[in-house]
Chains A and B, each alone.
Chain A
């Protein structure tokens, strides 16, 4: 077997050091023999060291899993613990939680759209070159992101790893007047978000289809983020129309979603009833698109995503950038609605007394469905913790997508692709899914083997 075109891409000199992944692609006789996303981020043992901690600690401990989506971890942990203890957090406290979660969605999705994904469509190697040529768009992205950031700081206590969240609610809740400047910022962000939908809708999108099953939270009447029940939309067989959706009660999650170890990755690989599947923006849009905020719904229609009200589904991973942009518009509009209707709760949290029980919950992190399960004894000491993050769930689907896209290129007309073209294609394919390794991949080395 020859070995050429080995290419190493890395951040030099001032690199951050949070996560590591590589892609291994083997092409033999014009056929993709192997596409492996090798995650070699060291194991982090969060599930192990949660055991023995108090039942009030998971929100603070699990928020450290990710600097981009800590609220997803906090919210899911709180819900699972509260469910175990038979406590329901509703009313203004639930609304504030959702507002904080929207802040994270706005930040995370906007970062990916404007600084990481858009350069792929406009022929730029990075956000820096993009900013030189499309300065207004990047400035707009930073403004939207800053609005999400402000929600995080105001409700979470700080922008990274928020500290104001506790089981049962918050340590401190804002007075309505404190949210007025935030609402002003969000109003501008709403216009900006709609403009971003129009911007990304004008990009050129290669043909591609992910036709495996989708998994997303479903809560009829609402574009589910922190409520509802996991639901599976069956494989689409290339259709952009609706496919049957079946509920997967969260209590049964682990019976259907099975994680297994693979030699090439320190992340577990998940399968849903024995098949790879996709969670995240495309899945949410397929399952809940009809319940988007009206302004986001209009934007989606105008952007050519079809009419989600009649069940249009987007299965092209490249077009996920439009879906993310629509989700940002939705999140901003809903955040504004929450602030406009906000009346402070009588107290910042409800008591959650421990009890010997098990509880599980799932919510929609920006990258997809996040599942937690905890068991505790009578004094609240945790005896078990299970966390299934979205990127681990998507790993097999990303590998499938890579195989199909590279194969499609190899089978297509024109000159056979060189390593450079394949590298670019693979990187784009991975970025379409916005994976979060550690959750974060800071070095993506690509090895192409041909034989």
Chain B
């Protein structure tokens, strides 16, 4: 009887120790994403991009020999749910780092206690506002001026349109872009004759578009994502504005196809190289895009790769940081991320430093259009 108990105790102890060893061999990445709600399109792609990258890195031996495991929590695009999810991932899942989606408010709400836990935050969204939180956060989102500059440059160089209207939604990123849109117009010889706002779920924008047309605007620079772009395209057609151009923010390819089918070559959009892979010439950008698509395309042949590519890039930057840090400890990864040399990703070049926590420092965007059933370069 005594021996049996002793054996059982030994078995339990062995199981406990082996679990502990297994836990040490895993690098857990927590991801708070809005799988439902307004951010669902982007954040589902972000989640899938992380999963594809984790598979690719695990094939190569993981992160310094540790298997990568991605823990995903749906925040329903709500900050309150994001707070609960972040808390769970810190205290129950014991994640080593966060690589979260584009629900800015959720990431901001959690930033203070993520910093207290000394965990780096890689973000699809913009950085939190407070300096002490920015120290631990790294943004993989392009600065808003790049999207604006690409569109303005196209208008200046390829069209005769000089009067434009800005149509924007009230999200933080869109508001930043709208402010820059007003400032930068003069540099490109453009005049903003009207600006109007809309809500992402608005079913009609004829009033706003009518105002832009009445003010003499020849092109609408639309700032914001989602189905509203298709609504705007349909409204332009319904109003009979036969010469008006619609230039959209970067978004999912399915949105571009729908809007392109309505307006034809009068619909233009901002696209990173990975969204127009057939247009790429041999070189580092094409190599990076191909490396990503090798894993993405077989798994998701019908899906737009744009936001998945950004998530993929964030994981590759993490892998580089771990190599530099020679450690998977939070502080070491944070410090090493600042030292990762310029990394050519599938979405853009990422160039983090101690003073630069927004990784994209060079404009990666091209202008695209929808022609012959596919997305192609308009330049």
Is the A/B pair a real complex?
no
